[in-house]
Amino acid sequence: MTIQIGDTLPSGKLKTATAEAIGETSTDELFKGKTVVLFAVPGAFTPTCDAKHLPGYIEQAAALRAKGVDTIACLSVNDAFVMKAWGKSAGIGQDVLMLADGNGDYVKALGLELDATGFGMGKRSQRFALVVKDGVATQVCVESGGEFKVSAAEAVLALI
C-alpha cells in the first residue's frame, strides 16, 4: 500500500556517508518531533534528478526552513558513497541530508518503489516528496511517470 496523508511513516534504516565513515540513520529519529521534507529521486546523477530536483531543494532551503522545515532530506536507491559524491558535486553544504536506501527497502515500505529494469536501472524509487510532521505524512506528492511537477521544491514550498 502506498503511503497516504495521515499515515505514520514506517520505521527503517538508511545510510549516510561522512568523511570518516558510513553511518546509519533511523527514520524514527529522523522524523521524531520535527518537520521534514523527504524527497526521492530515481537515481543520483540522472538527468532530471541532477539538473532540477536536487538543485531546486538547495535553492529553496532557506525558504523551506523559514516555513518551519527542520530537515530537508534526499533519498535514492543508491549506495551511501554515490549519495555522498552527488551531494558534494551539487554543493549541498548543510542544506540537504543525503540518504541512501541501497536495497530499496524503505521505498518499498512506503509503497513507492519503481521497477526500472526495462531501462537497465533495476529497482528504484518513484520520484516523490513527502512533508512529514513528527512521523506523520501531511503531504504526499508522487509524480506520474516521467513527470517533474508536484515533487519539485517550489511545489512543496507552496503546500507548507
| In contact, 64 and 37? CB cutoff 8 Å | yes
d(CA 80, CA 67): 29
User: For residue 45, what are the CA distances in angstroms to 19, 54, 122, 124, 157?
Assistant: 20, 10, 16, 14, 23
Task: Determine how many CB atoms are found less than 10 A away from the CB of residue 4.
Answer: 9
| In contact, 156 and 131? CB cutoff 8 Å | yes
Catalytic residue set:
49
Nearest to 101 by CA among 113, 92, 117, 93: 113
